[in-house]
Amino acid sequence: MVRTPLTPEERLRGERLGRLLREARGERSMVAVAASAGISAETLRKIETGRAPTPAFFTVAALAGALGLSMDELLGRCALEAAGSVGSEASAEPAVVPLIA
């Protein structure tokens, strides 16, 4: 089966998610968080580095739970970071960030 290449937006979204999960993990070990979420440390490593930019919903939900985040909080953080990276000029209008892509 041939996988369709990811768009630049999909790659950025995966990198953003990985960065947010890494920040939420803090000083906790990758192995401990991965075990708590029921995934391998290698899977967590790939997600955090953006090499797995489209992890399954249940994987993200398990990681959020292991990190003490709600899915709403994780989505909110992703949206805030995406809004901060949309355009470089200041605007009086808030950025519109798609919730589902």
Please report, in tens digits, the pLDDT of each residue of the chain (101 residues total): 787 888 888 889 899 999 999 999 999 999 999 999 999 999 999 999 988 888 999 999 999 999 999 999 888 888 888 887 654 333 334 444 444 44
Nearest to 67 by CA among 98, 23, 7: 23
Instruction: Give the Cα separation of 17 and 60 in Å (integer).
Output: 9
Q: Is 18 exposed, middle or buried (0-12, 13-18, 19+ CB in 10 A)?
A: buried
- Can you give the pTM of this predicted structure? 0.75
